Amino acid sequence: MLRISTTKAVATLAVILVGLMLAVPSFFTAEQRTGFIKSLPSWFPTWIVPTRAIVLGLDLQGGSQIVLEVDRNDLMRSMVQSLREDVRNALREAGVQTAGGIQLTPRGVQLRLTDEAAKAKALPKLQALSQPITDAVLGQTGARTLDVKDDPGGTIQLTITDAGFNSRTRRAVTQAIEVIRRRIDLVGTTEPSIQQQGADRIQVQLPGLQDPQRVEELLKGTAKLEFRMLADSSAGDVDLLPSKDANGQKVPVERRVMADGADLTDAQPGFDQKSNEPIVNFKFNLRGAQRFGQATSENVGRAMAIVLDNEVVSAPRILQPITGGQGQISGRFTVQQANDLSVLLRAGALPAKLTIIERRTVGPGLGRDSIEAGKHATIVATILVVVLMFAAYGVFGLFANIALLVHVGLILGLMSVLEATMTLPGIAGIVLTIGTAVDSNVLIYERVREEVRAGRSIPSALQAGFDRAFATIVDSNSTMAIAAVILFFMGSGPVKGFAVVFILGILTTVITAVTLTRMMIALWYQRLRPKTLPI
Amino acid sequence: MRLLRLWPDESHFDFMRLRRLSFPLSAFISVATVVLFLQIGLNFGIDFKGGTLVELRPKPGVTSDVGTVRHTANSFGFGETEVQEFGQGSISVRFPLQAGGETGQTLVMQKAHEAFDKDYAFDRVETVGPRVSGELVQSGTIGVVLSVLAVLLYLWFRFERELALGAIVGTLHDIVITVGLFVITRIEFNMTSIAAILTIVGYSLNETVVVFDRTRELMRRYKTMPTEELLNLSINSTMSRTVMTAMSTALSLLALVLFGGEAIKGFSVVMLAGVVICTYSAIFVSTPFLIYIGLQAGGRAQARDTSSLKQAAE
């Protein structure tokens, strides 16, 4: 009746053994683990030793999480501006003039050409600016980046399409993740996790960081560096930009960019030889060096504006052509600022401004406290449930208790191997699982009691108990699992951690509470052949 | 050795009759909850309201002083702050969401650091912007609704339609009362609270499903038994398991309340209450509800059909 096939028994025990082995590393520190592996004799196959410990969430080990969002307005502005440049170039190639320049609209540009002949020449060039969108997943979608409209009234309108904007946003997020990674790597923080979240968000997790504000500063600036000429008057193609030299007052700067940060190969903090002020030394690549050399030789005697994120950091006068491809940026920096600026320049510019929309920082002390509290709660809960089960079901309770301990071990083992993150709610999940895990055993045992009362023989009561309770166990665990799976998909951060533990807990119950206890009871019955059931 | 019996082996308690008490009681509490919810509302945490939360722990040698912290925090002029002491001398300060987007929130943090860095360590700093909090509310609500729907579907396939309906009524009842608990106790409602509610959804269904499983079984065995008697039998015969499981779950949650630390205390308390609510509703709400939706007509007719088919096959 209670016979279990040898294959099934071996398979179950193997699964349990492997699961428990996987949980072992989590009870030791990293040093102890590496120490243990070193202490093994050289012939021992080390790959067999599990080394992965459970990953602790930021709420348990301390650290910060920052969620940044690509500023869509800023991205649109920069798209519109570069579209204007493209249109200007296209018109120049076509050799036509506009009547009254190129006007910016919220989502594109518009212009008016002098006559129909000019229009005939310019239109194909303008239409060529619109690119078909290739999607990594869908391939060619048929959508285009620009909508070129030729009004009968004589105006030509170029509008950035939704598809074009979305594809640009996607690229911007990917680019931004790269830049953020480089910036954080340059500051040398340990193991950051940088992930895309949704369509336009980036989640940055920094474990154990002491100064999250500094990282925030590093992430926020786009670090768009441009070299332009200071203009003589505010007429013509001129932008008015705030100047650090003039205490934030606006100064006219020519719109044409002579060289920009994209051509930098290196940037290092340093000190000015004369004033001993902190500065940033930079090096251009070949293209940048040529452009910079040409521009400086054409403009000797004039002031060049060094523009960082649309602010004039400094405007040194060009004393002689700078052809070596090297230069320096001064701007009343502190040592830290010069340091950070060089990091930003080396890492490259962000494609658009990023806004911090969520930040969570947990001090390492609080994390340690939480782990301690979690451990205490787990131990106390285990003791309470173990005692209750033993008091209610005697030796059967003992079997259930063994299954319970194996169950908790399996959750930890599975979490280690799946690299699931343990969070504070996750610990709560484990404690809750301890309470509910015995439910399957309770269902079985109560059923066995009933069957015994109904006058069945011991083996058939046991058999019936397991068989009849099984359907109920499946139904009750399935409903819980459905709720847990939805919790996993809808929840964020720590709540996800709770859901993971809960799902794993439900899965392992079936192995431990049903199969393992059944094996123990079968073995016990075959050995002792009791006349009455002690239940 | 005498084993512990939390519930007598043979019980013939008339649970169904108590519905005349439990139904008005549950209805009253549910209506009261809705009224309170609309009148007072939930004590939303910054997850859902946006804003900045700072948790301060006095540095060694410093005695924490809530009064001074409250005074200082209010003097910043960031609107109404909530200052609370918790645990051993730790103080939490909540600032409302500031206008001016990102810079507004950053300013709050800077001020807080300037004012409290000297005496306190910053255990936790959280800032949630307005859009994020809106989305969290949305996804939380969708999550609860989806899980109820998904389970309804599951039960529909696994059980008769009446049983599925009964289970859902019980679950909704439990959700409503749990929310009421949040309204009355003023326990902060945040992302973890959503987790608590979804877990209660799971537990509530678990309780109901165990009883209904037995109902379904008995329905096939005693084809002519009156519904009320049948339901009473279902509950009485599963009662010892119900009490035992509720007990073990409650004990482990009690451990969590007492030793789990401040950060999840709200969660643990609500879950503990949830176990009581779910156990109550399985016995006194969802099961007696079956009497009203005619288990007799639908489910048992079906049961009779399948059993006669079986007989024919044999």
Specify the CATH number for the domain of residue A139.
3.30.70
In whole numbers, what is the pLDDT of chain A averaged over residues? Answer: 85
In terms of domains, do A450 and A492 share one? yes
Number of compact structural domains in chain A:
3
**Domain end (from A297, A323, A358):** A358
Name the least confident of A131-140, A209-218, B152-161. A131-140
Using CA atoms, how far apart are residues A231 and A253, in angstroms rounded to an integer? Answer: 5
Q: Is the pLDDT of residue A4 over 90?
A: no
Characterise B40 by phi-psi region: left (phi > 0), alpha (psi -120 to 50), beta (else).
alpha
The verdict on A365 touching B (C-beta cutoff 8 Å) is yes
> How does residue A135 score in pLDDT terms, banded at 50, 70 and 90?
low
**Domain end (from A168, A184, A211):** A168
Neighbours of B112 (CB within 10 A): 23
User: Which chain B residues touch A484 with a CB distance below 8 Å?
Assistant: 198, 202
Written out in words, the top-level CATH class of the domain with range B51-128 is alpha beta
In terms of domains, do A258 and A307 share one? yes
Query: What is the tens place of the pLDDT at every residue in A107-118?
Result: 999 888 888 888
* In the block, residue with structure tokens 């108990």: A465
Query: What is the tens place of the pLDDT at every residue in A329-364?
Result: 887 888 888 888 888 888 888 888 888 888 888 888
Residue A495 has its nearest CB partner, among B9, B195, B258, at B195
User: Which chain A residues touch B158 with a CB distance below 8 Å?
Assistant: 475, 478
> How does residue A138 score in pLDDT terms, banded at 50, 70 and 90?
low
Q: Which of A70, A486, A416 minimizes the C-alpha distance to B152? A: A486
- Cβ pairs bridging A and B (under 8 Å): 244
In terms of domains, do A407 and A511 share one? yes
User: Which chain B residues touch A434 with a CB distance below 8 Å?
Assistant: 252
In terms of domains, do A368 and A345 share one? no
**Domain end (from A331, A358, A385):** A358
Residue B170's pLDDT is 93
Specify the CATH number for the domain of residue A232.
3.30.1360.200
Confidence (pTM): 0.80
A27: containing domain: 6-57+364-528
Residue A391 has its nearest CB partner, among B3, B143, B268, at B3
Domain membership of residue A271 (yes or no) is yes
In terms of domains, do A347 and A482 share one? no
Q: What is the DSSP letter of A303?
A: B
CB within 8 Å of A54: residues ≥ 6 apart: A26, A412, A415, A416, A420, A422
Domain membership of residue A35 (yes or no) is yes
In terms of domains, do A111 and A13 share one? no
In terms of domains, do A41 and A138 share one? no
- Find which of A467, A486, A488, A533 to mutate to test the B interface (most B CBs within 10 Å of its CB): A486
Domain membership of residue A178 (yes or no) is no
Do the beta carbons of residue A458 and residue A530 sit within 8 Å?
yes
In terms of domains, do A368 and A499 share one? yes
Using CA atoms, how far apart are residues B127 and A289, in angstroms rounded to an integer? Answer: 44
Written out in words, the top-level CATH class of the domain with range B16-43+134-301 is mainly alpha
Q: What type of residue sits at position A272?
A: D
Residue A423, classified by CB atoms within 10 Å of its CB into exposed (0-12), middle (13-18) or buried (19+), is buried
> How does residue B261 score in pLDDT terms, banded at 50, 70 and 90?
confident
- Find which of B252, B258, B286 to mutate to test the A interface (most A CBs within 10 Å of its CB): B252
Neighbours of A217 (CB within 10 A): 15
In terms of domains, do A162 and A250 share one? no
Residue range(s) of every CATH 3.30.70.3400 domain in chain B: 51-128
In terms of domains, do A25 and A42 share one? yes
Query: What is the tens place of the pLDDT at every residue in B226-248?
Result: 888 999 999 999 999 999 999 99
In terms of domains, do A228 and A370 share one? no
In terms of domains, do A162 and A292 share one? no
Query: What is the tens place of the pLDDT at every residue in B183-205?
Result: 999 998 988 888 888 889 888 98
CA B15 to mean position of chain CA atoms: 24
SS3 label, residue A100: strand
Contact B142 A436 (CB under 8 A): no
Q: What is the DSSP letter of B189?
A: B
Q: What type of residue sits at position B237?
A: S
Residue range(s) of every CATH 1.20.1640.10 domain in chain B: 16-43+134-301
The verdict on A483 touching B (C-beta cutoff 8 Å) is yes
Domain membership of residue A228 (yes or no) is yes
Q: Is the pLDDT of residue A134 over 80?
A: no
Q: Is the pLDDT of residue B309 over 50?
A: no
